[in-house]
Structure 1
């Protein structure tokens, strides 16, 4: 599996499709759906429901809840990217941890400084219902010393993303996406978390969405 994914990444990053300099990074709409996080070594790190507020830059991700997997990490995360805050929530014990969010790049949105790489068709563009046209964007994550490659539909719905870092690399994909926030309460800080103080971050530690799976 690792070899197959590596080959796929290489093909994507080596695409010679003519770059249209009129392309500008788009931004994802509000979304609800399911997200999977896969380490490029083949381990399933997490799978679960997500809710994303594109304007407020807020993300709730609950893994290993309705679809438990022995190899996945059970997480309930609430992230405020603009504010730089990450909550790790334990709803069963009514507790949470409040941390500084160091990497403010959302795994579901193309950054403003992303570079357009190519436009490609998955499947068949000539058979109705059998093709998917995507644009691919690349860039660096300075705060995590890595790079990313994101592919989105023409309506800017993220399909898959690759994140390459010094210690670990991940493949993130979305399914069953709907352009709405079905449950706005998912993006609210639970009452038992409101008074929780911001934890001090140990030197050398980076708090981010992907670091939760390392």
Structure 2
């Protein structure tokens, strides 16, 4: 399975498609669930997310509302335009405030992404049995890797493969709704407001994706 997935994404990245009429779109506001799976089979994280497309804000909470046997528990609040994020520990009423060096994440297509193809999952000829997606690929200069992202015709991300020099993983979204159900999740908790910005060690690149590497 690992070899098959690797071959598939390599073909995606190696393909050359000239489609100037395809421009990267931007996902709307969303609430749903995200799973992160290492390509060797380990479930790294599963949890609820809330995404503000206009404000460029993301909250991801794993092992909270739907506990599963994963290798990590995360509560992240990210402000991409401001270049900061918080690692939150609600149980202990504490948090860490850090600089965000890379704003790439699996809920939006990067502006410099390259359109590769349109693909049909399942059966496009049977009503309700197929899903048509656009496949976008690109490199991650800050993270020294590549990605292949599939989104619906309405610009809803479905799944993304990330290939990094030290690790590779697969992100999928489920139960997506086009609204922000709880806006308070995108507000900095009161116990984090006075938190100072931590210094970033030289050579460290903080990003949403780095949390899984």
Per the normalisation by structure 2, the TM-score is 0.94
Deviating beyond 3 angstroms after TM superposition, the runs of 4 or more aligned structure 1 residues are 10-16
What residue number does 2:72 align with? Answer: 73
Superposed counterparts of 1:91-106, under 5 Å? 91-106=90-105
Work out the CA distance in 1 between the residues paired with 2:128 and 2:95.
Answer: 44
What is residue 9 of structure 2 aligned with on the other side? 9
Determine the C-alpha separation between the residues in 1 that align with 2:132 and 2:194: 46
Q: Does 1:181 align with 2:180?
A: yes
- Equivalent pair of 2:50/2:180 in contact (CA under 8 Å): yes
Moved more, 152-161 or 165-174: 165-174
Shift of 1:192: 0.6
Q: How many residues get paired? A: 213
CA 1:19–1:133: 2 relative to 1, 3 Å: farther
Aligned to 2:170: 171
Which stretch shows the higher mean deviation, 99-108 or 172-181? Answer: 99-108
Structure 1 unaligned regions, length at least 5 = none
Match of 1:133 in 2: 132
Q: Check conservation: 1:81, 1:101, Cα contact below 8 A.
A: yes
RMSD over aligned Cα atoms = 1.5
Task: Name the CA shift for 1:131/1:19 in 2 (closer, same or farther; >3 Å).
Answer: farther
CA–CA separation in structure 1 for the residues paired with 2:69 and 2:191: 29
CA distance in 2 between counterparts of 1:52 and 1:94 reads 23
Distance in 1 (CA, whole Å) between partners of 2:14 and 2:118 is 12
Give the equivalent residue in structure 1 for 2:38.
Answer: 39
1:42: how far off?
1.3
Hey, what does 1:64 align to over in structure 2?
Answer: 63
Paired residue for 1:200?
199
Q: Give the distance between the partners of 1:198 and 1:185, measured in 2 at CA.
A: 22
Q: CA deviation at 1:142?
A: 1.2
- 2:160 corresponding residue in structure 1: 161
- Report the TM-score when normalising by structure 1: 0.94
Shift of the 187–47 alpha-carbon distance from structure 1 to 2, 3 Å rule, reads: same
Q: Deviations over 1:60-86 (max 9, x none)?
A: 000011222223310000011111111
Q: Which residue of 2 aligns with 1:124?
A: 123
Question: Deviations along 1:152-171, whole A, 9 cap, x unmatched?
Answer: 00000000011111111111
Give 5+ residue unaligned stretches, structure 2: none
